Structure formats: C-alpha cells, structure tokens
Amino acid sequence: MKKSHLAAAVCASLLFLLVSCGGSSTSDINILPKDTQENVARVLWQKSYDEAKMPAEVVQKLYSAKNLPDARGSRTQAFLDDLIANPDSCSPDYTDRHKALKGFAGSLSGQQAYAMDLMLGPTSSRGYQETPKAIQFSFPRDDAPQNQFQVGWHFFVGSAYAQDGEEFGVQMMFWHYALLPPAMAKAASLSDLENQVLEMHLAVSRADGRHYRASPMWWQAPRA
C-alpha cells in the first residue's frame, strides 16, 4: 500500500485548518502549552515539536493573540458567565458546576477548553444551530462542514491495495466541535473555522486481519 499517499492526504486535510486563519505574533515557545505542542507535532507528522521544520506562516498563526491560553480562558469564562446568568428552567441546575469550572478557566490550551466544554452539560447547546424538524437533503451541499452546529463529523471508509494485490481496509473520521455558540464567537472576532476543534480517527488494517489505528490526533484551528 502507498503509505506515503495516505499520510500526505491526512496531513493535507489537517494542514488546511492550520493555514485557513490569518494573523501573526512573535514566537515564544514558553507560552505555547505542552499539549498544544504535542498535538501540533502529531498533525505535522513530527516525532517531537520542532518549529524550525514548520512553515513560518504556521508558526505565526500558532502564536497569534487570539490563540494564546489567556485569551482562550477569557472566552471560556464569558461562556460560563452566560450559562450562569441564563439557566434553563426545563433542565437540571448546573450553576454550581459552571461556577466551579470557571475557577479553572483562567488560562486554557485548546485541548483543555475542549475538555471543559464537554463537561458543561446539555444547557450548553443553547445558541447553536438547531437540528431542523424536516429537511430535504442536497449533496454535495449537505455534506460540507456545518460549523453553526455544536457537533459534526465526516466519516470515510474504503479499501486500498498493495502492489502485490493485498487488500487493506482504511477508516478515517473527522469529528469537529464548536467551542462557543456562533454569536458569541463572532463577538469575540472568531470566524466559524477559528471556533472549531477537530479530532481525527485513522485506522488501517489488513483485510480479515488484525486492526490497527494511529495514536489520537487532536487539533484546533489557530486564531487570527
């Protein structure tokens, strides 16, 4: 199987998120969280984080003001304040949880902000695009990313064949999550894409054989 072709396709898909946002800043590796460094290295297929081997444009966007931990923490706190101020009368009261989480939201990596979002409870879905009661699907329109929703995913499966004819099964999924409701993200000067977190699942296995998968990859689009 052409492993280099598969790797290039996956890397290209993830790099699209890296280069889709503008902005620049002075690089200081000490302010970039370790988990961010590790995830960036995985996205770029590096064994360890090495800015010298990255495109300059990518490094600039990693250190843009909106992508720094304090800025992300401030946005998360604003989201928590909104949830605290506007409880849902038809849902359990999550006020105590939201207040407790706010105490840990002062400075967050993208991965930490994502993990915290997943603990906010069902009331956090307010403000996102709602699933329509009825829809007439149209492709490819409805197969495109729909970033106004809180959660979305794309799933691909297929077969690849080695030069000797051996068959391999390939499975790949992109799971994306909007950290803030769209209106709140817009107020923070984030584009729909800048508001996204992306997880990727990749598995390759021999037909009728043992299944293998890559180490988890996680990525959040840098802010301008």
User: Nearest to residue 195, comparing CAs of 146, 145, 147?
Assistant: 147
Spell 203-213 as b/e; 16+ CB within 10 A means b: ebeeeeeeeee
Chain mean pLDDT for the chain: 83
Whether pLDDT at 50 is above 60: yes
Is-contact 209 6, C-beta < 8 A? no
Instruction: Give the residue-averaged pLDDT of 179-203.
Output: 92
Instruction: Look at residue 212 in the predicted model and tell me its pLDDT.
Output: 67
Instruction: Look at residue 43 in the predicted model and tell me its pLDDT.
Output: 84
* From 80-84, 128-132, 178-182, 220-224, the region with the lowest mean pLDDT: 220-224
- pTM (two decimals): 0.76
Instruction: Look at residue 30 in the predicted model and tell me its pLDDT.
Output: 73
Instruction: Give the residue-averaged pLDDT of 114-137.
Output: 93
Amino acid at 180: L
Task: Report the SS3 class of residue 156.
Answer: strand
**What are the tokens at 2?**
């052409």
At CA 173, angle to CA 46 and CA 113, rounded to 5?
Answer: 70
**What are the tokens at 132?**
């329509």
**What are the tokens at 54?**
């990255």
User: Nearest to residue 40, comparing CAs of 56, 54, 28, 30?
Assistant: 54
Assign 17 a pLDDT band (cuts: 50, 70, 90): very low
Q: Residue 165 and residue 168: Cα distance in Å, rounded?
A: 10
Instruction: Look at residue 96 in the predicted model and tell me its pLDDT.
Output: 96
Is-contact 190 220, C-beta < 8 A? no
Amino acid at 160: A
